Structure 1
Amino acid sequence: MSPWQTHSSRTAYENPWIRVREDTVTRPDGGEGIYGVVEVRHPAVFVVPVTEDDEVVLVELFRYTTGRTSLEVPSGGSDGQEPLLAARRELQEETGLVADTWQRLGGMDALNGVCHAPEHIFLARGLRPAAAAAGTTAAQDEEGITAVRTVPWPEVMGLVSDGTITDGETLAALLHAGIALGRIG
């Protein structure tokens, strides 16, 4: 049983991607209050693409929310698709690659103190250019992807430790991949 009691709930804002609700609650300490929750409409997918040469394919894009460029694994919303299909789509849209081998690594919850945002993580191997891949795609342009970078695994860990990679979900996806590949743990 939850130590929280929800008395009422109202939608404060919604669009096709998220809903923000305000719940009137009694907290575990007995105090009354309002708890705001962001609900993501569809789970997200995160892909850690690893080449035959043990390199990780990352995308560089400008994040409006933080006001700076971010280096991340390919990712995106499932848009109602089954997670593996969405992961395949995101890999191709963001990198121009397809993969022969897919492994589901697990799940995670983004910002679970304020969000209900389930996520799925996949490892993609056997990478090759998609048949239709030529230069940047409309999806890359739409999302503001400025570069697709292939980085050796040890250098990726250096980018984590020096603070170049700061996206929490990318960090978690890389941790899952490192464990699955026997590089961590």
Structure 2
Amino acid sequence: MMQQRGRAVWQVLETRNVYDNPWIGVTEHDVLDPNGNPGLYGVVRVRSLAVGVLPVDAAGMTWLVGQQRFPRDYYSWELPEGGGTFDDPQGSAARELLEETGLTARSWRELLRMDLSNAITDEQAVGFLAWDLEEGTAAPEACERLEVRRLPVREVVEMAMSGEIVDAFSQTMLLKADLLARRGALPGDLAQHFI
């Protein structure tokens, strides 16, 4: 059994690529689990980095993007987010923010790095807090039909707490920023909008 830092790990016996498109691939593995049992494990390989932005303006307002999500067929309110490059997460986040809301930001702070659904996919995410905002014109992708709302950031944090926002990436960015504000770890002019 292979060991990693003193712990048993999965042992891959054979690997097959079973599906590919420009956005994802699916790989199937014959494995021995950490207890030595044989099994089959499928992994969704995501080709881009997930990037997200919590924009906050001087009045303490933020922007939510609403859209129909295909996999579970429901309407979802989320922070601006999308796919980006691994070598320029902030540049990718800035592009998504502009495309979806028309906003540009002069100040940025990385909020978090996280794995999304790490039992079945290798998808990684980087979330940012953005401020010193300037409004412009949104330019969504041709496949997107978006609705944009501007709301007080405190209200949006409550939407995450109540379950009205169910997108895990949005929830995590909102709750992390709220906690940082309460701990005094955000600039004072930003922190006041959360507390």
Verify same fold: TM over 0.5.
Answer: yes
Gaps of 5+ in 2: 183-190
Secondary structure of the corresponding residue to residue 143 of structure 2: helix
| Distance apart, 1:161 and its partner CA | 2.8
Aligned equivalent of 2:94, options 72, 88, 95? 88
Please tell me the residue identity of whatever aligns with 1:154: R
| Distance apart, 1:123 and its partner CA | 0.5
Please say if residues 4 and 28 of structure 1, whose CA atoms lie closer than 8 Å, have aligned partners that are also in contact: yes
List per-residue Cα deviations over 1:67-102 (Å, max 9, x = no partner).
111000101111466111100000000001111101
Secondary structure of the corresponding residue to residue 90 of structure 1: helix
| Distance apart, 1:61 and its partner CA | 0.7
Gaps of 5+ in 1: none
* Aligned position for 2:48: 42
| Distance apart, 1:158 and its partner CA | 2.3
Q: TM-score, normalised by structure 2?
A: 0.85
Q: What is the RMSD computed on CA atoms of the aligned residues?
A: 1.9
Tell me which structure has the larger Cα radius of gyration: 2
Q: Distance in 2 between matches of 1:80 and 1:26?
A: 31
Matching of residues 103-114 of structure 1 within 5 Å: 103-114=109-120
| Distance apart, 1:13 and its partner CA | 0.4
List per-residue Cα deviations over 1:7-63 (Å, max 9, x = no partner).
111111011111110011001222111101011112110111111111221111110
| Distance apart, 1:137 and its partner CA | 2.5
Sort the Cα spacing of 1:138 and 1:59 in 2 relative to 1 into closer, same or farther, 3 A. Answer: closer
Q: Distance in 2 between matches of 1:153 and 1:167?
A: 16
| Distance apart, 1:175 and its partner CA | 1.9
Q: Distance in 2 between matches of 1:168 and 1:150?
A: 20
Please tell me the residue identity of whatever aligns with 1:160: A
Please say if residues 160 and 174 of structure 2, whose CA atoms lie closer than 8 Å, have aligned partners that are also in contact: no
* Aligned position for 2:179: 179
* Aligned position for 2:152: 152
Instruction: Select the structure with the greater relative contact order (CA < 8 A; seq sep ≥ 6).
Output: 1
Q: TM-score, normalised by structure 1?
A: 0.89
Report the number of matched residues: 179
Please tell me the residue identity of whatever aligns with 1:169: F
- Identity over aligned pairs, percent: 37
Moved over 4 A (4+): none
